[in-house]
Amino acid sequence: MADDASTRGDSPGSVFAAFLKLGCTSFGGPIAHLGYFREEFVTRREWLDDKAYADLVALCNFLPGPASSQVGIALGMSRAGLAGGVAAWLGFTLPSALALLAFAYGFSALGAATAAGWLHGLKLAAVAVVAQAVWSMGRNLCPDRARASFAIAAALLVFAAPTAWGQLGAIAAGGLAGAWLLAPAAAGPVAQPPVRAGKGAAIVALALFFGLLLLLPAARSMVQAPALELFDSFYRSGALVFGGGHVVLPLLRNEVVPPGWVSDDAFLAGYGAAQAVPGPLFTFAAYLGAVMNRAPSGVAGGALALVAIFLPAFLLVVGALPYWSGLREKALMQRALAGINAAVVGILLAALYDPVITSSIATKADMGIALAAFGMLAFWKLPPLAVVIFCALAGALPMLA
């Protein structure tokens, strides 16, 4: 179960190592990332239980920014405080950021990677990972007819409104239904809060979040500094987007293409490369910062853009968690959280179909590979890395024929 970092003695270095492995192997987008996180930190390491994990997922879906990265930051904080949150972010983000920086410096062969068989295999691995997460979380979080019905209703709502607002509406509806319709016993005991962050740090983080959001555009209008303009553009993109990586792409394009910072061709080439790397799609910012047609560019521009786009996510997690931990201990909130957790299962169920299955399963062979991978995860209890390798090789076999 979730323990305090001081009890387990976790260091930022150990947190970094755990997330670095995931940063190198977590293909398939934010929904798949949540499946990988659950397998690693709920099932294998037992840092927290399914209820506490679903609570974190629900909170981070309410916050703007990359939800899977925010869950990772919160998990890192649960083991080693603020330094652990930074270590988790670095470990999960660095592999894809470095790969996209390398692509920005001329590895154009990656531009055609989106058509490679091995990449298709990685998409099939994402199908298995998400399916296993839905199956396991459903058994734990939807054990009765009421909560199973909440999950199905949430999935139907997301199908009807396939946007970030549809997901937020499903979570809100699940919370209201749980608070009104579930008996106190059905909600169960409150899961131990996985993160204990001080309210002082939370106030500072929230003040910084809103202060930067308001002051950066004002400073940009008064001071003509390219680095400040870049930081402001990427900070606002990270602060104002709901729905994760793909939703931020039109915001980023509007910031960098019309003013001529990045050509449209370069933008689209980088987006193609971003599909071929693991980890969060927000690391696309590192590529854009590196290919700028003006200073700062290169490694400096990439690093500045990367920090700017993820900083709002970090500040919001630090600012929200202490208040979330207090609210979740109330009886009414416990019933609401039971409904929210069921809704999260429904959201994952809807995401399993679209975009995970719809973008991955095209043939009977695809379905066979995905089913085999699911069996390896759910019944043979093989590590996700082994499943990723299996799917990549299986997807590449037609290319070798």
Could you report the per-residue pLDDT of 38-64, keeping only the tens digit for each?
999 999 898 988 888 988 888 887 787
Asked if the model's pLDDT at residue 292 lies above 80, the reply is yes
**Long-range pairs of 324-327 with CB within 8 A, sequence gap ≥ 24:** 324/55, 324/59, 325/193, 325/195, 325/196
In this prediction, residues 253-278 reach a mean pLDDT of 79
pTM for this one?
Answer: 0.73
pLDDT given at position 114? 46
The label of the residue with tokens 């709920």 reads 42
In this prediction, residues 275-301 reach a mean pLDDT of 88
Quote the CA–CA distance of 125 and 131 in Å, as a whole number.
Answer: 10
> Worst-scoring range by mean pLDDT, 88-97, 180-189, 295-304, 340-349?
180-189
What are the residue boundaries of the structural domains of the chain, listed by start?
A: 10-401
Q: Which helix (H) or strand (E) holds 286?
A: helix 284-290
Burial label for 364, CB within 10 Å (0-12, 13-18, 19+), is: exposed
Q: What are the angstrom distances between the C-alpha of 310 and each of 45, 108, 192, 240, 282?
A: 26, 26, 27, 12, 8
> Worst-scoring range by mean pLDDT, 194-198, 292-296, 360-364?
194-198
Of 381 and 15, the structure prediction assigns the larger pLDDT to 15
Of the candidates 28, 197, 224, 49, the residue with the CA atom closest to the CA atom of residue 126: 28
pLDDT given at position 5? 41
Mean pLDDT value across the chain: 84
Quote the CA–CA distance of 19 and 26 in Å, as a whole number.
Answer: 10
Coil vs helix vs strand at 151 = helix
Amino acid type, 109: A
In this prediction, residues 238-267 reach a mean pLDDT of 76
Q: Which two tokens stand for residue 70?
A: 């925010």
Q: Which helix (H) or strand (E) holds 197?
A: none
pLDDT digits (tens, 9 = 90+) for 141-166: 899 999 999 999 999 998 998 876 78
Q: What are the angstrom distances between the C-alpha of 21 and each of 18, 27, 377?
A: 6, 12, 17
